Structure 1
Amino acid sequence: MQTSDSFNKSLRLSGANRSLPLVLHYLTQSNMSKRQVLLLLGAVLLCLSCFLFSSQRLSGTSAVGNLITQPTEPIPESVDSTVVPTLTWRPIPERLVVKIWQDTQQAKIMQPRRQDVLTVTPWLAPIVWDGTFDPVIIDEATKAQNIVIATTVFAVAKYIRYLQDFLETAEQHYMVGLAVNFYVFTDQPDAVVLPINMTMAAGRQLHVIKVPKYSRWQEISMRRMQFIQETIEKRIRYEADYVYCVDVDMKFHSRVGAEILGRLVAVLNPWLHKSERNNFSYERRNASTAYIPYGKGDFYYAGGFFGGAVGEVHKLVTACRANLEADKLVGIEAKWQEESHVNRYLVVNKPTKVLSPEYLWDEELGTGGSEIKFIRYATIRKNMKEVRENI
C-alpha cells in the first residue's frame, strides 16, 4: 500500500520536473543578457528549493493560503500514471506553446496582468482568466500550425435534448477558425442532426459513435472514461493533436479558443474555486482509489471539462478507467464518479494549464463575482430528477 510519505514525494517531484524544463526553455529563447539569465535562474531555483523544503515540513497551503496539518492516513494504491509504449501520437508543436507564453505574458509571475485573481499555480502553470492572454496573437500563432482539435461529448438518454444547443453555440464560440472534430457518443444515433439553418464551417466535422444506454446515470458517467480511451486508441490519435472532453448539457456564451490549448488542461470548479482545501469535495474514503486525504490537493477541478494533448489525455482516462474498475471490484463508488478520479489523478500529475471558472460556469451561481468578466461556457438549468431517470 502506498504511504503518505511516498505520496508526498511523488507530488513534489511531479511539480518540479514539469516546472524547471519549461523555465529553462523560456530562458534559452529570451533576449536577456547572460547575467540576467543567471540571476533569474538562481531566483527560480531558490524558490523551488524553498517550496520543496516547506512541503516536507507542512502539508502545504490551500488555494487561499491556509496552512493544513500533515495527515497520517495511508493512501490506497491507485493508478496515477500510465505508460503506453505501443501507441504513437501526432507531434505537438512545442514552439507554439513557447511563443504564446512569451508574447502574451500570460504566466509571468512578477507582472501578472490581473491583480484580483491567482494567475499562476505553485508549480508555475498559467491560470487563464479574461485579460491574461491576447486572443489576436494566440489565434495567429495557432492557425499557422494547422492543428486539429478533437472534442468528445456524451448525449445519452434524455441528454440528447441538449445536443443541438451545444452544437449551435459551439459553432459560434468554440475554437472558431480552427479545425475541430466533434465525437458525439449516444445511444440514439438517428436523433443526432444539426440545428436547422446551421452549417458547420470548413474543417469542422461531426462524428457519431453509438454507445449502450445504462439503467443508472452514474454508470453512464463512469463509462465515459472507457469510451474515450477506446476512441483515442482507435481513431482520435490518428485524427487530432488535442482532445477536450466536455459536458453536453451546456451552452457556449463567448469565446473559448486556442488560449485553452496545453499538454494537460483542467478547469476550476465554479462552486469551489474560492473554498479552502479541506472543504473540497474530494473522495475522503480511503477504501477508494480516488481517495485524497485532508490537507492534500491543490484545487478542485470540474469533471465536465478537461483535455490537452492526445497522449496526455489518454494517460488520464486510462488511469481513471483502471481506478474506477478497481473500485467497482470492491463494491465502492467514488463520491462524484469520474470527477473524483480526475481530481485524484491531477493531484499527482499536475495540469500544465488551468482554466478559470469562466470556462465552466453554473447558471445557478448567477453572474459570478467581480472576478468573472465573461461567462464562456455554462450549464443549462434543468430538473435533475426528470433528466436522470433513476434519481
Structure 2
Amino acid sequence: MCTDNWGRSDRNRCWYFIIFAALLFILSFSWHSLKNSQWPPRGMFTCKSVSHSTSDTSYLDQLKEVKLQRMLYEKPETLKPPRTDVLTMTPWLAPIVWNGTYNIDILNEQFHRRGVRIGLTVFAIKKYTVFVKTFLESAEKFFMVGHKVNYYVFTDRASDISNITLNDGRHLVVLDVPSYKRWQEVSMRRMEMIRNFSRERFIYEVDYLVCVDVDMRFSDDVGVEILSNVFGTLHPGFYGASRQSFTYERRTQSEAYIAADEGDFYYAGGYFGGTVEEVYKLTNHCHEAMMADKEKNIEAVWHDESYINKYFLYHKPTKILSPEYLWDNNFGVPAMLKRRRFVAVPKNHAQIRNR
C-alpha cells in the first residue's frame, strides 16, 4: 500500500507500479480473447449485415410496390416518333415535354399510386395580389387535376388574399413575407424565401415544388408530365434563338456570367421546379450567388433569371418544359405550338411594379 509514512517520490513510484500492472492485465486479457476468436483467412474481407432491430426485416423490405393496373392504349412505335418537328430530347437525355410526347393516363396512374403531393408557389407582393384570384381559379381547372396540391402564396398583403372554393385534397397556404422597395429586389429575393421555406416547411408537406409567376393564368391541362428531379422551362422569346442571341449575363465579374460560346437553352425565370430537395439546392445556389454579386455592387442583367440560367448550365435539368407551358400571346401562335397551357395576363407593368 502507498502509506502516508512514505515520501512523495516513493508514493509516486507506488502509483506508477499499480497503473502499469493494471495495463498489463488488460492487454493480456485482450490478447487471449483475440487469439481464441475466429478470424477469416488472410486477405479475405467479410461483410456482415448490421441489424437495427431484433427482427430480420430491412427498410428495403418495406418499400411500396408501384404497380399499374391493366390499361388499354396505343402501342408506342419505335420507328414512328410522335413528334419530328421539334427537339424532344436533350444531349444529356432529358426529355423536352411537348404535346403528343407522353400518355397522361399512364403518368397519372403512376403518380396516384405513389400518393404524390405537389406544392405550387407564387409571389403576390404589393399590387400583384390582384392576380391571385384569376391564378387560383384557373389552376383549379387545369393544374394537376385529381392530385393533392398545396398553393403557397407568398405575400406582404395577406388581407388582400380572399378564400376561394378548392377541390378535395387541395389547400391554400398564405405565407406572410416582407416586401422590398424595388421590384428587381422582390424578384431576386424569391430565391431566398423559397429556399428558407423549403428547409423549414415544404420538405415536410409536399414531394414536388412548382415555382411560377402569379401574373399568369392556366388555359390548358398542366399535369404530372412536368414533374422530375429538377426541371426548367424554355423561354417563349428564345426557344429558337442562337446562343449569341441569349440575354445571358455577359460581365465576367458576375456570378451569373456565361461565355458567348456556352449555353444550351435560355430558361425562363418564371417557371421551374422539381423535388423539394433539388429546388432547395437550386434556390440556395442562386441566392448565394446573388449575395456574392451584391457584395461587388453587381446586379445581374435579368436578376434571378440570369442566375437560374447559370445554374442549369452546370447542373443540367432532368426535364425541360416546352414553350407550351409558358407563353405570351403577343408572340402569336406558331405552328409547332399545339397548346398554350400557361399564358401571361395582359397588364400595365408601370401600374403594378413598385406599388
Same fold (TM over 0.5): yes
2:286 is equivalent to residue 344 of structure 1? no
| Residues 58-207 of structure 1: pairs in structure 2 closer than 5 A | 111-195=80-164, 199-207=165-173
Once the 2 structures are TM-superposed, how far is the Cα of residue 94 of structure 1 from its aligned partner?
11
* Residue 174 of structure 1, CA deviation: 0.2
Aligned residue type for 2:208:
Y
Q: Matched residues in 1 for 2:125 and 2:302: separation?
A: 18
Q: Does 1:222 align with 2:188?
A: yes
Instruction: Please tell me whether residue 329 in structure 1 is matched to residue 312 in structure 2.
Output: no
> What TM-score, normalized by structure 1, do the two folds share?
0.71
Give 2:345's match in structure 1, choosing from 357, 369, 380. 380
The letter for the 2-side match of 1:281 is: T
Change beyond 3 A, Cα 1:275–1:95: farther
Instruction: Say which is worse superposed, 325-334 or 206-215, in terms of deviation.
Output: 206-215
Q: Percent identity?
A: 46
**CA 1:130/1:94 → structure 2, altered by over 3 Å: closer, same or farther?**
farther
Instruction: Quote how far apart the aligned CAs of 1:213 are.
Output: 1.6
| Cα deviation, residue 349, structure 1 | 0.4
Structure 2 residue 331 is matched with structure 1 residue 362: no
Q: Is the 8 A contact 1:104 1:132 kept in 2?
A: no
Q: Secondary structure at the match of 2:273?
A: strand
Residues 94 and 227 of structure 1: is their aligned pair in 2 closer, same or farther, counting only changes over 3 Å?
A: farther
Output the CA distance in 2 between the equivalents of 1:387 and 1:95.
49
Contact 1:241 1:309 in 2 (8 A): yes
- Alignment partner of 1:241 is 2:207: yes
Equivalent position SS for 1:112: coil
Displacement, 1:144?
A: 1.3
Larger RCO (CA under 8 A, 6+ residues apart): 1
Q: What amino acid is aligned across from residue 359 of structure 1 in structure 2?
A: Y
Is the 1:104–1:137 Cα contact (8 Å) retained in structure 2? no
Distance 2:338 2:65 in 1: 30
Confirm whether residue 306 of structure 1 aligns to residue 275 of structure 2. Answer: no
1:331-379 Cα deviation digits (max 9, x unpaired) = 000011000000000000000000000000012112x211000000011
Question: What displacement does 1:386 show?
Answer: 1.3
Instruction: Give the 3-state SS of the residue equivalent to 1:374 in structure 2.
Output: coil
CA distance in 2, matches of 1:309, 1:171: 22
Q: Indicate how the Cα distance of structure 1 residues 105 and 273 shifts in structure 2: closer, same or farther if over 3 A, else same.
A: farther
Post-superposition offset of 1:211: 1.0
In the superposition, the TM-score normalised over structure 2's length comes to 0.78
The Cα shift of 1:385 comes to 1.3
Question: In structure 1, what is the Cα distance between the partners aligned to 2:133 and 2:252?
Answer: 41
Shift of 1:110: 6.6
Give unpaired runs (5+ residues) of structure 2.
1-62
**Residues of 1 paired with 2:74 and 2:283: CA distance?**
31
**Higher CA-based Rg:** 2
Unaligned runs of at least 5 residues, structure 1: 1-92
CA RMSD after TM alignment: 2.3
* Counterpart residue identity of residue 250, structure 2: R
The amino acid across from 1:143 in the alignment is H
How far off its partner does 1:112 sit? 2.8
User: What letter is aligned with 1:278?
Assistant: Q
Aligned to 1:15: none
- Which amino acid counterpart does residue 386 of structure 1 have in structure 2? Q
Matched position secondary structure for 2:114? coil
SS at match of 1:266: strand
Distance in 1 between the 2:280 and 2:79 partners? 34
C-alpha offsets along residues 306-347 of structure 1, whole Å, 9 cap, x if unaligned?
001111111000000000000001100001100000000000
Task: State the shift of 1:150 in Å.
Answer: 0.9
Shift of 1:140: 1.4
Q: Is the 8 A contact 1:109 1:120 kept in 2?
A: no
1:269 aligns to 2:235 (yes or no): yes
In structure 2, what residue type is equivalent to 1:301?
Y
Aligned residue type for 2:341: R
Distance 1:265 1:311 in 2: 13
> Following TM superposition, by how much is the alpha carbon of 1:214 offset from its aligned partner in structure 2, in angstroms?
1.0
4+ residue runs over 2 A deviation: 93-96, 103-106, 108-112
